[in-house]
Structure 1
Amino acid sequence: MDLRLLRYFVAAVTSGTLHGASSVVHVAQPSLSRQIRRLERDLGFELFERSARGLTPTAAGRAFLPVAEDLLARATQATSTARGIARGTVSDLTVVAAPTTVTDVIAPFVVRSGLEGVIGNVVEAMPEHVYAAVDRGDADFAVGTRIPPSELRSMVLGHAYLWAQVPASHPFAARQSIPIAELVREPLIVMSRAHGVRQMFDSAAARVGLSFTASVETTSPSLAQALAAAGRGICVLSDDPHFDLAAVPISTPNGDLIITLFGVWDEMHYASSRIAACLEELSAFNAELYPQTVGGFDVVSVEPDSSR
């Protein structure tokens, strides 16, 4: 099957019009239309219903779409694998992770690994899209916070805290942890409701029968930290602290609130054993970054997802 035709089909579904798909794949509209008709002839069924408003996938087209996407992803993975084998090295693997994970965990790990490290590139993605990048072949492995898909290999890399962040002069700064029941009575600077960390905090509060009214809601972790440093309230984040803020774990009756980090990869990857070894090293490094306290943890980071 011609992979080029599959790319045209997927672009047409995504764009909804031949004009839009033409811009994506850089093929003239009349030629693109002929190529999609050719694919339909090869398959033996129509992929689209055509109208003045654009292209609408048929039932058969909708059923075929994930097949086409899977074939394209595997072709990309095959190309990546071939290049790695040809080079005879695994010194430049690509990892995909959420921006906060890249900043707080991956980048420091690359520095620690030095010349012997195998991570040579990183792809930043929203948490809900991290594992899909491995499926597509855009990255060799992933570090994420959602429950890994069963078709991929995975390991728990460790945990990171959901922090209450305050200025060093704040009475809470010297605490070992802050009970969530006490925290919700303070002026809180939290992320917007669409943000994973906010969903985690809301869920943890609801499980113990608490509610709160945010003092400030924002979509920017950096702004949340800046407002906390300015004395406007306590920010609740998973990001490492900045602006000389003190980060204090948040406790519940079940333990401190934490985020679970997973390492995820395709067992069929040509460098599978080296990826696994890298993730073991990353797990040890994460334990240094976020030493775990004695006692239990209230794991609320799996569903809904965190921002890491």
Structure 2
Amino acid sequence: MSLLSMASDVLARFDQVEAVLESRFRGRPSFRVACPHATTESVLAPFLAEIDVPIVDLEIVPAAEVDDLLGGRADLAVSSLVPPAHRRQIAIATVPIMIQARDVRTRFPGAEYGDLESMTHESLVVPRSGVGAAVMSAVAHLAFLMPVRDVAAGSVAQAFAANGQGYALTTEPLRFGLDAIPARANGVPLTITLYASWDATHYATDALEDVAADLRSWLQAHPTWPDSAEV
């Protein structure tokens, strides 16, 4: 093990000890959650505003980095990327991916879904997250190539769509005067799964599972995306 790896491991263990001491002082666990900015805005912040759970702060990082924080700066990770197999995890929601643009209802008049097959000459804008991965996978299975541009976040994709620079495929709540329709490819609605995951050796693994279950239950009653989802 390199000196840098050893130092990182020591710091992670120190953070865990500090969390245990803080929990004993407060009389209940004190958890920090790693999540992307979009998940903070549309899921966790509204959840924390209504439900009293032992979460004391959020660590906001790109989706690809949330798992790296477990065992150190964060106790729980929430994102749309599939957690590694060695993590304890539960699926907390299945979220529809929406095509968003100001003219989307004109583009798909009277339709229940927007089929990607009908958008061969359109530019699609997706966030670099589980949403983007799902769209890229769906497009790869079509019989033709489609122009797909990935950007930093769903809100950025929405901004470009509002400015007429393509159609955003995202799960964020509507803004910028956009309208939305559920996306579909090869007759299958496009969705992502939102996961909560944590270290199986965490000192409070049962309490973390309770928090994840509370979040799942809250999302069942309060979906925060433009259309309903299954859990």
Please indicate the TM-score interval, normalised by the length of the shorter structure: 0.7 to 0.9
Counterpart position of 2:36: 98
In structure 1, stretches of 5+ residues that fail to align are: 1-60, 294-308
Alignment match of 2:161 (pick from 212, 228, 251):
228
Distance 1:189 1:169 in 2: 13
Distance 1:189 1:101 in 2: 21
Superposition deviation, residue 205 in structure 1: 0.9
Counterpart position of 1:52: none
Counterpart position of 2:63: 127
Distance 2:184 2:151 in 1: 23
Are 1:75 and 2:10 counterparts?
Answer: no
Distance 2:57 2:189 in 1: 33
Distance 1:158 1:240 in 2: 15
Aligned pairs for 1:130-141 within 5 A: 130-136=66-72, 138-141=73-76
Alignment check: 8 A CA contact 1:190 1:218 kept:
yes
Residues 89 and 253 of structure 1: CA distance in aligned 2, closer, same or farther (over 3 Å): same
Superposition deviation, residue 101 in structure 1: 0.9
So what's the TM-score if we normalise by structure 1? 0.63
Distance 1:140 1:221 in 2: 25
State the SS of the aligned residue for 2:74: coil
Q: Percent identity?
A: 24
Superposition deviation, residue 174 in structure 1: 5.4
State the SS of the aligned residue for 2:71: helix
Superposition deviation, residue 198 in structure 1: 3.8
Alignment check: 8 A CA contact 1:173 1:246 kept:
no
Are 1:157 and 2:82 counterparts?
Answer: no
Q: Deviations over 1:95-147 (max 9, x none)?
A: 1101111111111111221xx233221110111210111122x1121112233
Residues 176 and 284 of structure 1: CA distance in aligned 2, closer, same or farther (over 3 Å): farther
Counterpart position of 2:188: 255
State the SS of the aligned residue for 1:170: helix
Runs of 4+ in 1 over 6 A off after TM superposition: none
Alignment check: 8 A CA contact 1:134 1:142 kept:
yes
Are 1:201 and 2:138 counterparts?
Answer: no
Distance 1:249 1:285 in 2: 22
Count residues with an aligned counterpart: 224
RMSD of aligned Cα (Å): 2.7
Distance 1:233 1:184 in 2: 12
So what's the TM-score if we normalise by structure 2? 0.82
Alignment check: 8 A CA contact 1:188 1:236 kept:
no
Alignment check: 8 A CA contact 2:105 2:180 kept:
no
Alignment check: 8 A CA contact 1:142 1:263 kept:
yes
State the SS of the aligned residue for 2:66: helix
Counterpart position of 2:197: 264
Counterpart position of 2:27: 88
Residues 149 and 79 of structure 1: CA distance in aligned 2, closer, same or farther (over 3 Å): same
Q: Which amino acid aligns with 2:115?
A: P
Counterpart position of 2:229: 292
In structure 2, stretches of 5+ residues that fail to align are: none
